[in-house]
Structure 1
Amino acid sequence: MGTIKLYKGKDRRIRAGHLWIFEGEIERAHEAAPGDIADVVNHQGSFLGKAMVSGSDTLKARILTRKDVPIDEAFFAKAIENCLEYRRKVAGGATCYRLVNSEGDLLPGLTVDVYEDVFVLQATTYGMDMRKHMLAGLVAELLRTEKAYERDDMPVRRYERLESVQGFLRGEFDTNVRMKENGAVMDIDVSTGQKTGYYLDQRENRAAAAQLSSGLQVLDAFCYNGSFGIQAGINGAASIHFMDMSEPAIEKARQNAKLNGLEDISRFDAVNAFDELSRLAKEGGLYDMVMLDPPPFTRNKEAIEGAIRGYKEINLRGIKLTKPGGYLVTSSCSQHIGMELFKEVVLNAAADAGRYLQLVEARSQAKDHTRLLSMPETDYLKFLIFRVV
């Protein structure tokens, strides 16, 4: 068993509940190779927790538990079982959900998403990658399925000196999955779709927006596979305009709209949504509900100013396209843009548009995308519904 000893005063974050240990906090690491489990102690040798050693040059280890217990297969089996027990309580009978949410579930580096009888596993750390077949076996036994796919094609793996890989972990099967969510039916591909195949973190937010959509003319900008607009449609929207710059995404949205019997009230445009929103606003196009779910404008602190400008501009265009008494549905998945800052950005956009906003709801990611209070990094999604007056 290796040991990681921290410098004096460098244990405060760990004691407060953060899970990451950085190179500059370590006084000495003894027999702590990448992937190993190590005891973490303070400068006096007092036990702080068990950590998994990283392959990174800067983020050297991640805490798994504060308890002095063996980190073995039984440990991971119990942890994943606890994750499933929680999802059964909060996912509302959903058949597609996040089972394991990395740091949010005290299993840093491990993500598991479930799509009907298929699960997709991501291992972003050296230690979880070493154990991925064992972990897949535990999940398969718990879920009683042999359909497991690996989506370890994320750039973040480079920091752990891990290659980009994907493929079958257990069994071989059609990677196209027909999933159900909030009453809608969607076809996704776990081998090629965004993230692990679909944006599960917006499940509850899609339902919240759809509840307001009956009888409305809806614009779903940055629609990807059409999930927001489709759920508005099955809840009674009068029309849906799907917009995305990706031709494959628009084609998938078209297929999913047809699958839900919405093709007659749907319009599809493969265009640059930023430019098209501006053009529509100039032409006086108006909608009862404008949905904005753009990709992240920043993945680091250095790009925050540019991200603020981007979010303000896109929300300004969205507000201009919303009829008086209509709804603006807007979100940000940029972790470095907090909720209050995001509200301020949208408020400034409304001021420039000469409109008032009534806050209907302020939400975050779905409850199965667990947020660890001691780790603000796990709280990344901001979702706002406004009535525009």
Structure 2
Amino acid sequence: MHTIHTTHSHNSISVAKVILKKGKTQLFRDGSPMVYSGAVDSIIGRPPPKTGDVVLVADGTQKPIGWGLYNSCSMFCVRLMQLEEELSIDASCALNVEKLLETRIESAVSLRKNLGIPSANTNAYRLVNSEGDRLSGLIIDVFGDLAVVASSAAWVEKYKEHIMKCISGLDVINSIVWRPSTDILKEEGLDLADLAEQVSGSTERVKVVENGISYMISLDGQKTGFYADQRENRQFLSTICDGQKVLDMCCYTGGFALNAACGHALDVTGNIEVLIRHLLHWN
């Protein structure tokens, strides 16, 4: 039977062990992915682990409950990546970040396909949703054949090249934009001088469609350029706006305002510049 202990025993690289305080173990067995520094009793390992290193996470008896990625600066001491009991299902990812990335990204693609995404009506969507896809600190939004990566964890920056390799191997992707969240990464202990946006392919405005509504996205905009995680909320709004007066106070790309208009709202007030830009472009 595969366990983290047996995998570690066959691993020639020394892996430090993060020991949890009494009473903290069940929280992480139940699925919480973040081990805060306040939950840590001690760290066993010489030399001590560095930011981005793989570590074991163990209970007070030093029995491993899982493994994750360490950060010596952040309040997120460890981002748990895999639990001990998961190894009985698939041991190939144990203590192997590259393999884990490949597996989790493939699973994210498969899940979206099962949900009918992408489709003729929607080619803008969130492919990897950080903790939601069990890759804490990594967001990947897809706009047509372009992937925009938002990095907000030191480990993501460490494995940047492998992440880009995984994305570039996807059939639907022709170009990638890497956008580090500098303020958050500074708190993660990274030197801002080492962080840079990386572009593979075109950086022009991108035309996308979501729920049948077309948008022009600027890659210089907030986050990844488009709040792809609000797709279902925007669609829901369109179902309750018939005959209503709607105010979209934080219009940004006009997503809620445009869905309200398509939902036969009597009147829609939003950011006039945004709405005019859409009208001028599409007409």
TM-score range normalised by the length of the shorter chain: 0.7 to 0.9
**Alignment partner, residue 213 of structure 1:** 241
d(CA) in 2 for partners of 1:214 and 1:110? 38
Distance 1:65 1:257 in 2: 48
The equivalences for 1:1-389 within 5 A come to: 1-29=15-43, 30=45, 31-67=48-84, 68=87, 69-90=94-115, 92=117, 93=119, 94-164=122-192, 165-169=195-199, 171-190=200-219, 192-243=220-271, 250-260=272-282
Shift of 1:39: 1.1
TM-score (norm. length: structure 2): 0.81
SS where residue 128 of structure 1 aligns? Answer: helix
- AA partner of residue 256 (structure 1): H
Residues 76-107 of structure 1: CA deviation (Å, up to 9, x unaligned): 10111001111122355331111111112111
CA distance in 2, matches of 1:133, 1:232: 41
Single out whichever of 159-168 and 57-66 deviates more from structure 2.
159-168
Q: Is the 8 A contact 1:217 1:237 kept in 2?
A: yes
| CA drift at 1:145 | 2.3
Query: Deviation of residue 212 (structure 1)?
Result: 3.1
Cα pair 2:33 2:81 within 8 Å, conserved:
yes
In structure 1, the partner of 2:6 is: none
**Partner SS for 2:73:** coil
Deviation at 1:238, TM superposition (A): 4.2
- Residues in 1 aligned to 2:83 and 2:231: alpha-carbon distance in whole angstroms: 32
Secondary structure of the corresponding residue to residue 221 of structure 1: coil
- Aligned partners of 2:248, 2:170: CA distance in 1, in Å? 37
Range with greater deviation from structure 2 (6-15 or 59-68): 6-15
Choose 1-10 or 104-113, whichever is displaced more.
1-10
Aligned residues: 253
User: Secondary structure of the equivalent of 1:9?
Assistant: coil
Cα distance in 2 for residues equivalent to 1:253 and 1:144: 29
Task: Give distance in 1, aligned partners of 2:280 and 2:239.
Answer: 21
Letter in 1 for 2:51: P
Q: Is the 8 A contact 2:54 2:95 kept in 1?
A: no
CA distance in 2, matches of 1:23, 1:213: 46
Counterpart residue type for residue 32 of structure 1: P
Superposition deviation, residue 64 in structure 1? 0.2
Q: TM-score w.r.t. structure 1 length?
A: 0.60
Q: Partner amino acid for 1:71? A: N
Cα distance in 1 between the residues matched to 2:123 and 2:154: 30
Contact 1:64 1:106 in 2 (8 A): yes
Give the whole-Å Cα distance in 2 for the aligned partners of 1:208 and 1:175.
Answer: 30
CA RMSD of superposed structures (Å): 2.1
8 Å contact from structure 1 (residues 182, 231) kept in 2: no
Structure 2, unpaired ranges of 5+:
1-14, 88-93
Q: Structure 1, residues 242-293: CA drift from partner, whole Å, max 9, x if none? A: 24xxxxxx423321134455xxxxxxxxxxxxxxxxxxxxxxxxxxxxxxxx
Distance change in 2, residues 1:7/1:219 (3 Å): closer
In 2: Cα distance, 1:210 partner to 1:58 partner: 40
Which stretches in structure 1 are left out of the alignment for 5+ residues?
Answer: 244-249, 262-389
Letter of the structure 2 residue corresponding to residue 184 of structure 1: I
The 8 Å contact of residues 248 and 270 in structure 2, kept in 1 or not, is answered as yes
Instruction: Confirm or deny: 8 A CA contact 2:179 2:198 kept in the other structure.
Output: no
Contact 2:138–2:150 (8 Å) recurs in 1: yes
Q: In structure 2, do the counterparts of structure 1 residues 175 and 37 end up closer, same or farther at CA, with 3 Å as the change threshold?
A: farther
State the alpha-carbon separation in 2 of the partners of residues 70 and 41 from structure 1: 14
Identity of counterpart residues, as a percentage? 26
Flag the 1:57–1:203 CA change in 2: closer, same or farther, 3 A.
Answer: closer
Distance 1:232 1:23, change over 3 A: closer
